[in-house]
Structure 1
Amino acid sequence: MNPHSPALAGVELSLNRQVQPLVEQLVAQAAALRVAVRRDPLGPTIVDAGIEAPGSIAAGLLIGEICMGGFGQVGLRSGAVDGWPSWLEARSSQPVLACLASQYAGWSLAASKEETGGKKFFSLGSGPARALAAKEALFAELGYRDRAERGVIVLEVDRAPPAVILEKLLRDCGLAPEALTVVLTPTSSLAGTTQVVARVLEVALHKAHELGFDLSQVVDGVATAPLPSPSPDGVEAMGRTNDAILYGGRVHLAVRGGDDAARDLAQRLPSRNSKDYGRSFAQIFKDVEYDFYKIDGALFAPAEVWVSNVDSGRTWHAGALDMDLLRKLWLDAE
């Protein structure tokens, strides 16, 4: 538990209002981005970014910014000199708001076979609508809840959510049916892989929170990670996005406060502090019989961390990328 005051207490910025121009852009440019847009019979707008529609990396970049509530930027750059051809960069000058109050996939949305009338459904919701519902204990800790007339949520799924889930979203977010947009991004798609790897900064913020660092002292952040090709296998696709961050994620945080706290954060944050470090995430997941809770929590962190204290001007560095491991996992031999 963070012993400090809520990081977003008094913040009046609205994620869901800020993000609306990006949502409108996604819908307006659907054909160019290779996504499909339809209106569900219940009223919400459904954006398919990789189930029936092919989707694209460009769609994933835009969805990554939507996940950050419009308070972050996600870009693509060439980076072959770093050992992989394509790299994502995520940055924000409102990192706690953009990453933890919005981008973090923390809203559990589940429905039984009886509720769906067929196959059970489960997804973790990410994006601005989380802050409208504020169902997670995290929002009380952050001291933030959004109020807006429109909302958007992103689901990592390979099928559209059933009516019972849409009804729950509308009820918990307090939205009129036509005011909700639901974006669907299976991890095995181009857009899905892209938007998950774009969470590299968010992973660092979440780990900092778990370590008890005072999030109100985090003032800026920028992060990069290599972008792998998606895999048609669901577990392998999830493994690649995690490996991109655990072994290829590089984060630079700007913080305020004491040097001791900044130095401690840099030293404790990298993924190599985990006993599970050094193997592919897909293999680790299989070894624990697909139970996330059996994985060492210290693993969920970027590979390399730089922490700069803007009050003292000092910077600390810990961890390192393991591009040899990623190339071994991702690159086919000639």
Structure 2
Amino acid sequence: MTEPTISLNALAAPLVDALVADAARLRLGLERLDNGCLVVDGGIDVPGGLEAGRRIAQICLGGLGRVSLRGGLAVGGPLGDWPLGVEVSTTDPVLACLGSQYAGWGLSHGEGKGAFQALGSGPARALTGKEPLFAELGYRDHCERAVLVLEVDRRPPAPLVEKIARDCGIAPDGLTLILTPTRSLAGTVQIVARVLEVALHKAHTLGFDLHAIRDGFGSAPLPPPAPDFVTAMGRTNDAILFAGQVQLFVTGSDAAAQDLAERLPSGASRDYGRPFAEVFKAYNYDFFQIDPLLFSPARIRVTALDSGRTFSAGRIDAALLAASFGCAA
């Protein structure tokens, strides 16, 4: 690992401080644990909201990205101009999305029905260096503070919080955990804001050279939350699978750019064609049975910087999106 030129956790720290300072008006909950760790509740016992989710999504990007809420996102079909969408851009898409935002840290404590399980995302991942991905990126962060985002509907047990701090190499009072239930408004925003990240993750899965990706932009409609986990999870996934749009700017040959554009869209997966909640149920709620190539935006554009040519593939599926969002055709 080379010494980092930037620290994701240091860049995210002012964003975390601002989130905490504005917790009351963002309708967030704050709790300081006995060991000093700060827990931010984004929607478990408090309402949270869209703006909270937007700011949490930017924290997930390690201070290297901008997340915006915009109105009138055209998706066509029965949805027409959907009233709200999420847009994502970064100054370093590979590091921001894969090195920080990607939910790549598996966390668990206990056994049986009462076990706590979660996937951690955000800058804290880069302090551990445990994931093989960081060796490929050639990056490892060093910082006395860390922030980790967990998509959960209950607080992590104290022993797990201690373990997270140890793995990050920091004192517990330097750790901030942000909890965002899938069914919450904040959780909905921060999940859909992964539209660019899922494209980069699939590009990595396909074996595309990450060093060739120079910039990127993504957008997706923001779905209505749902009171139950499976429906809420399905809608946030479907917003990306059926209407997410991403443009990547890459170096290299036109042939490589065209191949990436054609293989990236979610429609290239064998499991495409039904709302995600139905697919999940068909596989007996086992994520690992689902085709991993399904997780990608609906429409892709790849611009080859060396030639200036742009290659497009995929399409928005308004009918499937309407079925997922619970809107009448």
TM-score bracket for the superposition, by shorter chain length: over 0.9
Pairing partner for 1:159 from 141, 154, 157: 154
Contact 1:71 1:93 in 2 (8 A): yes
Structure 1 residue 49: deviation in Å?
A: 0.4
CA contact (8 A) 2:54 2:67 kept: yes
Task: Report the TM-score when normalising by structure 1.
Answer: 0.94
Deviating 4+ runs (over 6 angstroms): none
Q: Report the equivalent of 2:107.
A: 109
Aligned-partner SS, 1:263: helix
d(CA) in 2 for partners of 1:97 and 1:238? 25
Q: 1:18 aligns with which of 11, 23, 40?
A: 11
Whether the aligned pair in 2 keeps the contact of 1:9 and 1:142 (CA below 8 Å) is no
CA distance in 1, matches of 2:54, 2:27: 13
Q: Partners in 1 of 2:237 and 2:3 — Cα distance?
A: 34
Match of 1:54 in 2: 47
Tell me the residue number matched to 1:256.
251
Q: Which amino acid aligns with 1:33?
A: L
* Aligned-partner SS, 1:222: strand
Secondary structure at 2:25 match in 1: helix
Distance, in Å, in 2 between the alignment partners of 1:243 and 1:96 is: 23
> Which consecutive residues of structure 2, in runs of 5 or more, have no partner in the other structure?
none
Letter aligned with residue 62 of structure 1: R
The answer to whether structure 1 residue 39 and structure 2 residue 32 are counterparts is: yes
Q: Within 5 Å, which residues of 2 pair with 1:67-78? A: 67-78=60-71
State the distance in 2 between where 1:49 and 1:173 align.
23
Q: Deviations over 1:248-274 (max 9, x none)?
A: 100000111111111110011001101
Summarize the alignment of residues 125-164 of structure 1 with structure 2, pairs less than 5 Å apart: 125-164=120-159
Match for 2:277 among 276, 282, 299? 282
Quote the Cα distance in structure 1 between the aligned partners of 2:114 and 2:322.
Answer: 37
Deviation, 1:10, is 6.5
Letter of the 1:90 partner, please give it. V
Counterpart of 1:308 (choices 303, 307, 325) is 303
Query: Which of residues 221, 224, 233 in structure 1 aligns to 2:219?
Result: 224
The counterpart of 1:98, out of the listed 75, 91, 96, is 96
Structure 2 SS opposite 1:87: strand
User: Do the aligned residues in 1 keep the contact of 2:4 with 2:140 (CA within 8 Å)?
Assistant: no
CA deviations on 1:92-132 (whole Å, 9 max, x unpaired) are 12000000000000100001149xxx921000000000000
Query: How far apart are the structure 1 equivalents of 2:126 and 2:91?
Result: 19
TM-score (norm 2): 0.96
**Partner residue, 2:170:** 175
Q: Specify every segment of 5 or more residues in structure 1 that has no aligned partner in the other structure, as ranges.
A: 1-7
RMSD of aligned Cα (Å): 1.5
User: How many residues get paired?
Assistant: 324
- 2:183 aligned residue (179, 188, 197): 188
Counterpart in 2 of 1:329? 324
